Structure 1
């Protein structure tokens, strides 16, 4: 199949066709009904020349949300207009469109009564995680640092070199801290190289481990990451480089990155609802950071949504659910801040994009927030992101610093997208027209298609005069039809092709499978380690893992009840020896008993019939994963899936509706009132799963070669076939087998 267009790449990770919008489905609670106050559109801001978001555009967006089974969309449109004299935004037309649902919660009611599931509408002040749209904040922060004359003078005196965009990272961090696999990149990489994604490294996103040494420790581990291209050979999107640069305020000013952004960008622009703090926005967090001076914003935070149990390889679309609690737990977002940590609203971003259009000056006061040369520098394309246009209206695309730059129907666009679990964003500006468009979605599946279609609809109407009988400004003649490009139809075709490719690409293993060169039990008696990626301790799954009579034991262990309840019993093992399923490096009984593990195994085994391969599971707490699931393919090869779940986190916070008689029950009584049926009591068997839990990305699979050391050589796990996140036209896979052919090599620790 031909490669899918580059414009879709930001949306394909984690997308899904949702069957239903089911934020909750809790059988143990009284019946739930939705109230009639379903939100639709909230537009604000009068304009001197008619609406920026027309009635027909609002109708289009509402229809798109329904067509894609999406949740909601927040839109902000700004345009320079000297005729506007409104004191709150002089010289600018600003309008907001708010569509759909931000979050849901149960309204309190007397015990035994039908409970109302209240829908909270999206407003201009609803908060969204904007993911990689955070990168421009990072890029501009670097510009502010290199523009600081006092800092530059101090740097020149202490380091003997100039501080600027072309300063080498080795001169900033020193040769002990800054080390890379590729010596050319280690010696030559500059700030600009990191910002423009031309360092030679693939994503390596799964190396996102929480480190006690924070950003400095993360930077020290970069040397162990294998590149997929030579230095400056090709564009390869890489979050780690933006995380690396977020260490600069700490290194140069002894100030955290988050506080630097707040001081120099959020506060001067009056972006009072913008933050990096998960504790500040997480409704279910007990930890409010005293060091963060701003108010509690949890009431404004949208719930992100993903498709639970999606598996396109089996044709399973999954069910769209709210992610409760928020994807990151408080404190764990700090390393990710520079690459994707901003949480903000359409209202705050309207001021942000207007500042960018205004050359770095505050759009309403004209005070300089960012030097204009910094705005120009970060927007200037330096890497070729896409050398070929995928549609006739588009041009090839370049990447500067936190921004893509290309043309649409002959007019230039500078933009960036964002994609975090449960959220998608797009912030675009059209400098020739003084126009900015912000679209934010709390649908991490198909919300990307909705927000892109909405963006193009607004641009077609405002820039190209599309509409009934309109003249096309790019053609100087009457348009065929109404002048709108039918992006929605294109996205449906591309999306259908993507799902089909996943299903068609699911290879059937040989029958019978060839056993590996060493017994299966040896794999599960090892610990495997990589300096950057951390360690793996595979737990071998017994033949009948869900047949034990203690399925609630690990769930209750979160409350301190019998965490050592046996799982490796005759029920689960059959006639196989227990010692073949024990790993001396891990408490596999605890791992296999976890609610998350049990749900993963139940879904993974569904539909396999009698052909159940040898399976291993290991905890894998990373930025985009919680578990690795290994299933034997044949010989020494295994399929591996990186799975993210929140079952265990929900149980810790008392959000699992199946468990009663513990702290979780107390929390739910406080939320719903006394007398509410709370489901299972202590020690009761769980016959159903937590309906609010999420399991994601099971259909994103790679290959692991188990290098058994059967020939007397080294033993380890060689991850391949895309695990490292390779991109770029000129990037390459490693050649060979074993360690030589590994994208990431985990060495066995005997």
Structure 2
């Protein structure tokens, strides 16, 4: 990898809050009083610069709160060629939005407690949106509760390739759940599911007769003076046009040209409470302090207790830097790091990444945001835990090697791409069997009720093709929320490897170098009857099957 030789480093903004009430003071008051760089000394700044260079991350903004003092700083660029990333630069927060969705539902539970029709954590979702909320399993339909959906334990996996499209609504997405396979019994397994938080967004709309974004603005952002937080790209762009903070441009690093390529702005309102918020690290410092200190303007003490109670657990070996398993509760992951309890959540959408964290014992909060995807996730973790280790005064020999971890992850990720055929089909014959039909006969549109249509066509093999140039079956998901292309590499018979790449108009590292197993079935009429792809990881080798339409 080629290193970026020059990065912009901005002065550190320090905000001092004399008391809890000052959380509600306006932005000007909170960013007044420039002081020392706090934790962002020259050594830490150099470490951040090196990390951004190594992973080709354009810019990053960070806030750190220690008691009543908040430090915030930007590094690198928010827009080429030289618009600096600052403490006030806006980014998409991705899945950090989920904690706001959870807080909204807890608010509604509190407000309904003395009504004739109260809701609580055990309220089945189907009792609130009976016609829309139907799952493939009747028991799950009747028994999945708000608590289950908030905890990723409904039995429904991600199915992220299933939704989206022009003018798609939250209701449309909820209605589609009935066609998507479940992969676990209710309350038996943690399975991260954006679809369930989209469903919860729809629940809030139905209960309040207002959008989730409007509800958040009225009940959380306004009380906390989060004046730089938005629920749509349009609103953020309008604020910028009015002279307010700018939204960082998202970039993809082209390794061939060694240049940053601007990405198309992420605009997917259908993701809603699963991950559409746009904000900055200064506003998140206000929010994190409010949650950590149990601000009564947001929730009651009882609701804060529920917010922090683990409902499901991730396996311990996935997070070897932590002590024991990682718990999940209502948009927060909960773990122990170097003897201290952490509450945190990551967020990522194409072109952006974020992380938020608070440590009650220390009265610390951290928020980090950046403007590329995947590599930003890695850089944010590396910077976050280096900063945390410094603050905790962890000896060098006791520190987890985050840089080494992600360097190895990148190498493994690219090696898996190269060895996809062997990994997916270790017993495939050599030489391979011919396809049953000529390749052109597989062209056409195929349909699955949950994933809707996919259309295959013949195309020239792309520039990155690992074999000699040839015609290949090709499709794209440009009408969906998450956009990528698929090129089908023949393995043997009617079995293929479908390799993903992000489109040239919206390059994104998170969609590059992935692959699915693919298989065609031939009907008695000698025409293709189905194509199956392993689009959902929780289903293992089981495929999502699409029927041939012609």
2:288 aligned with 1:360, yes or no?
A: no
Match of 2:445 in 1: 527
Cα offset, 1:449, TM superposition: 2.4
* 2:462 corresponds to 1:602: yes
Shift of 1:493: 3.6
Instruction: Determine if contact 1:182/1:230 at 8 Å carries over to the other structure.
Output: no
- Matched residue, 1:572: none
Determine the structure 1 residue equivalent to 2:21.
none
RMSD between superposed Cα atoms in Å: 3.0
Q: CA deviation at 1:184?
A: 2.3
Q: How far apart are residue 441 of structure 1 and its match?
A: 1.6
Q: What's the TM-score once normalised by structure 2's chain length?
A: 0.87
1:314-713 paired onto structure 2 within 5 Å: 321-328=260-267, 333-361=268-296, 368-388=297-317, 390-391=319-320, 393-462=322-391, 464-466=392-394, 479=395, 484-507=399-422, 512-524=431-443, 526-541=444-459, 545=460, 601-605=461-465, 608-609=467-468, 612=470, 614-618=472-476, 620-647=478-505, 697-710=511-524
Give the conservation status (yes or no) of the 8 Å contact 2:61–2:75: yes
Q: After TM superposition, give the deviation of residue 169 of structure 1 in Å.
A: 1.0
Contact 1:395 1:408 in 2 (8 A): no
* Alignment gaps of 5+ in structure 2: 17-34
Q: 2:69 aligns with which of 93, 104, 116?
A: 93
Question: Would you say the 8 A contact 1:210–1:622 is kept in 2?
Answer: yes
Describe the shift of the 1:406–1:179 C-alpha distance in structure 2 as closer, same or farther (beyond 3 A).
Answer: same
Output aligned runs, 1:272-311, within 5 Å. 272-282=227-237, 296=242, 300-308=246-254
Cα 1:56–1:46 shift into 2, 3 Å: farther
What residue number does 2:124 align with?
168
State the Cα distance separating 1:164 from its structure 2 match.
0.8
Structure-2 separation of matches of 1:235 and 1:350: 29
Displacement of 1:706 in angstroms is 1.0
Alpha-carbon distance in structure 2 between the residues aligned to 1:485 and 1:239: 30
One of 542, 545, 548 as aligned partner of 1:745: 545
CA distance in 2, matches of 1:725, 1:714: 25
Residue ranges of structure 1 left out of the alignment (5+ in a row): 1-17, 22-33, 81-91, 105-117, 157-161, 283-287, 311-316, 362-367, 467-478, 546-600, 650-692, 727-731, 735-740
> TM-score when scaled to structure 1?
0.65
C-alpha distance in 2, partners of 1:390/1:733?
22
- Tell me how far 1:277 sits from its aligned partner: 1.4
Contact 1:405–1:413 (Cα < 8 Å) also in 2: yes
C-alpha separation in 2, matches of 1:256 and 1:694? 29
Aligned length: 528
1:79 is the counterpart of 2:72: no
Q: Which residue of 2 aligns with 1:668?
A: none
Alpha-carbon distance in 2 for matches of 1:510, 1:239: 39
- Matched with 1:63 is 50
8 Å CA contact 1:73, 1:99 repeated in 2: yes
Measured against aligned partners, the alpha-carbon deviations of 1:601-625 in whole angstroms (never above 9, x if no partner) come to 43244x5225x36423355421111
Which one has the bigger strand percentage? 2
In the TM superposition, residue 457 of structure 1 has moved relative to its aligned partner by 2.1
Q: Distance in 1 between matches of 2:369 and 2:153?
A: 28
What is the CA deviation profile of residues 410-442 of structure 1, one whole-angstrom value per residue up to 9, with x for unaligned ones?
Answer: 110000011211111110110111110111121
| Pairwise CA distance, 1:327 | 2.7
2:536 to 721, 724, 741: 724
**Shift in CA distance, 296/141, structure 1 to aligned 2, threshold 3 Å:** farther
More deviation in 126-135 or 629-638?
629-638
- CA spacing shift, 1:518–1:408, aligned 2, 3 Å: same
Equivalent residue, structure 2, for 1:677: none
Matched residue, 1:733: 540
1:192/1:323 CA distance change after superposition, 3 Å: farther
| Partner Cα distance (2:497, 2:478) in 1 | 16
CA shift for structure 1 position 216? 1.1
Residue in 1 that maps onto 2:93: 130
